Structure 1
Amino acid sequence: MASKNDICRKIESIMPEAGACDRDFTVEYDERNHAWSVDLHRGDIHLKTFVEENEAETCLNKDRCLPLGLQIGQLKRNLELYRQS
Structure 2
Amino acid sequence: MYDKKQLCEKITSIYPDIGQCGIDIDVDFDNKERAWVVRLVKDSHKLSHYLDLPEADDCMDGKKCVSLGLEIAQLRKNVEGKQF
Structure 2 length normalisation: TM-score? 0.80
Residue identity over aligned pairs, in percent, reads 28
For 1:59, give the aligned amino acid: C
Contact 1:38 1:51 in 2 (8 A): yes
User: Which of 49, 57, 76 is the aligned partner of 1:80?
Assistant: 76
- Give the 3 Å change call, closer, same or farther, for CA 10–82 of structure 1 in structure 2: same
Contact 1:24 1:41 in 2 (8 A): yes
List gaps (5 residues or longer) in structure 2: none
> Aligned with 2:22: secondary structure?
coil
Structure 1 stretches of 4+ moved >3 Å: none
Greater relative contact order, per chain length (Cα 8 Å cut-off, separation 6+): 1
Higher helix share: 1
Q: 1:55 Cα deviation (Å)?
A: 1.9
> Aligned with 1:21: secondary structure?
coil
Q: Distance in 2 between matches of 1:39 and 1:24?
A: 8
List gaps (5 residues or longer) in structure 1: none
1:49-68 matched pairs, under 5 angstroms: 49-60=49-60, 62-63=61-62, 65-66=63-64, 68=65
Structure 1 length normalisation: TM-score? 0.79
Aligned CA-pair RMSD: 1.7
Contact 1:2 1:56 in 2 (8 A): no
